Amino acid sequence: MKKILVYLFLATTVLLPAPGWSEGATASADVVYTIPIRGMIEPALLYVIRRGVAEAEDVNAKAVIFVMDTPGGTLQAASDIVRTIQKIKVPTYTFVEKDAFSAGAIIALATKNIYMAPGTVIGDAMPIMMSPIGGAQEMPDDLKEKAVSAVAALVRAAAEEGGHNKELAEKMVRRELEFKIGNEVISPAGQLLTLTNIEAERKVGKDKKPLLSKGTFKDVNDLLKGVGLENATVRELQVTAIEKVARYIAALAPIFLIVGLLGLYVEFKMQGAVLPGVVGVICLAIFFWGHHIAGLAGAEDILIFLLGFALLVVELLFIPGFGFLGFLGIAMMLWAMFDAMVEKYPGGPWYPTWPVVQIPLIKLSVALIGTAVAAMFLGKYLPETRLFKNIGLDAATSRKDGYAASDDSGSLVGLEGRALSPLRPAGSAEFGDRRLDVVTRGDYLAGGTRIRIVETHGNRIIVEAVAEKSV
């Protein structure tokens, strides 16, 4: 099983093509990088943006343009992207291609220059809470104020860093505020600020500065002409199919973990049933590969998981009982799965902060609870399935069918002894001076466990654990 896991990781990380850039023109001295932010803003998008920013800075690009069309996304992802933008040494632009709502508006405010296409809108960054079945739901007042306060602080910081009006930015979050410049009320109290491209470029105040947008252009090429970069080579970041798949894998992490862990559990319970183990290994490999491509999981997470899995196998197969190595192996596997989902960004602390670990903890908790519930369900109904019964000698022989057993196994019921090997569920046991092949009802019993024969069907001897008597 360990070899299969290693081969899967090697195949997915070596054989698949690496992401790349698409050049829109012949190479020249000046280069402009465009990075698309389209669709939902979620943690895996951060990897794509970091890749583009690093490439742009490596070649000393003239500008980085974020091409935006998004309904918003998670606050944590927006916060991390804002931090990444704030560290860029290259001039930054946002070109609103269609919509820049919520997290998109926050990211746009972090860039130095905002431009918009005709008919586009930007704003409405008030946080909402999503229900488990989808759609927005009402937040309690205290929780709502806490969330709004955090987002308001983030948009003010982003606007200040980008050189925009921080009161305007906060009005996108707090509807109770009134936003005005001089004596002119731009947005009255009671409504969130959302601006069209015409409203955003309107010149206001004594100095007649644009409200937010520096101008309207039909597309990126038109924008480049307007800012004097029409002769620059445009390199557009291509979000590859691999990265798109990785983003879906990161979003569906609990499902891959549940299927993966459940497959390994069934494999240990039903030795010889290869399919559950293979499915489990593949799902866990996909989980780690997806998070690696998404820029979340490093090679160290994969190695820690494999080492923990190896310790668990050694504990179960070669050491009586269940002790330190088994618990250490489980702890290492849990840490590897958790750390594979934790975001790491340059310049951040070496230890994970609470806002960063909240989502990974929730996903891991859902995966563990889901695995436990599914394991209980399988433990109850799996022993009755044909697949499970094929493990042991289920066919009993009888005299009326023309068979004669060498011994009447019914006389063994009630005998107590000890398991000589781990019972998963089949194995060998010793009853006095007799050594017999036995099977549990689906429970795992470690070697050395005191057991009792509770049922026999010909050569099939069923046992259960007996509580040790205290002295």
Q: Which of 20, 153, 171 has its CA nearest to residue 82? A: 153
Report pLDDT for 139: 59
What lies within 8 Å, CB to CB, of 383 at 6+ separation is 389, 425, 441, 442
SS3 196: strand
Chain-centroid distance of CA 442 in Å reads: 33
* Residue 425: cis peptide before it, omega within 30 degrees of 0: yes
Longest Cα–Cα distance of the chain, Å, equals 108
Q: Which domains does the chain have, with CATH numbers?
A: 20-239 (3.90.226.10), 242-387 (no CATH), 393-465 (2.40.50.140)
Report pLDDT for 270: 67
Decide if 232 contacts 30 (C-beta within 8 A): yes
Report pLDDT for 197: 94
Report pLDDT for 27: 40
Angstrom distances, CA of residue 268 to CA of 150, 280, 334: 47, 11, 18
**Cα–Cα distance between 191 and 325 in angstroms, integer?**
59
**Cα–Cα distance between 12 and 261 in angstroms, integer?**
20
**71 DSSP 8-state letter:** -
Alpha helices (H) along 294-353: 299-318, 324-339
Report pLDDT for 98: 93
Q: Are strands 121-123 and 92-101 parallel, antiparallel or unpaired?
A: parallel
Alpha helices (H) along 240-273: 241-251, 253-269
Helix (H) or strand (E) holding 372: helix 354-381
Q: pLDDT (tens digit, 0 to 9) for every residue of the chain, 471 residues total?
A: 444 444 444 444 443 444 444 544 334 468 999 999 988 887 778 778 888 888 888 888 999 999 999 998 888 788 888 988 988 888 999 999 999 999 999 999 999 999 999 999 999 888 765 544 445 556 566 667 777 888 899 999 999 989 999 999 999 999 899 998 888 888 899 889 999 999 999 998 788 889 999 999 999 999 999 999 999 999 988 777 777 787 778 778 899 999 998 888 887 776 556 678 788 889 998 888 887 766 667 788 889 998 998 888 887 777 666 678 888 988 999 999 988 888 665 445 556 666 668 888 888 999 999 999 988 887 777 666 665 555 444 444 455 554 444 455 678 888 899 998 888 778 889 988 888 888 887 777 888 889 999 988 777 888 999 876 654
Q: Is the pTM of this model over 0.95?
A: no
